[in-house]
Amino acid sequence: MLNYGYINGKNIICLIFCLFCVCESLFAQTYVVTRYADNNGLPSRIVRDVLQDKNGFIWVAGNNGLYKFDGQSFKPFLASLKDTLGLRDNKITTLFEGLDGQLWIGTPKVLH
Q: What is the pLDDT of residues 27-79, one digit of tens each?
A: 667 778 887 777 777 777 788 999 999 999 999 998 888 999 998 888 999 88
What's the confidence (pLDDT) of residue 45?
A: 78
Read off the pTM: 0.69
pLDDT band for 9, please (50, 70, 90 cuts). low
Cβ contacts of 104 within 8 Å, gap of 6 or more: 94, 95, 96, 97, 98, 111, 112
Average model confidence (pLDDT) across the chain: 81
- pLDDT of residue 107 exceeding 80: yes
pLDDT at 7: 62
In whole angstroms, how far apart are CA 72 and each of 20, 40, 42, 45, 57? 38, 11, 11, 18, 11
Given this model, what pLDDT does residue 11 score?
Answer: 67
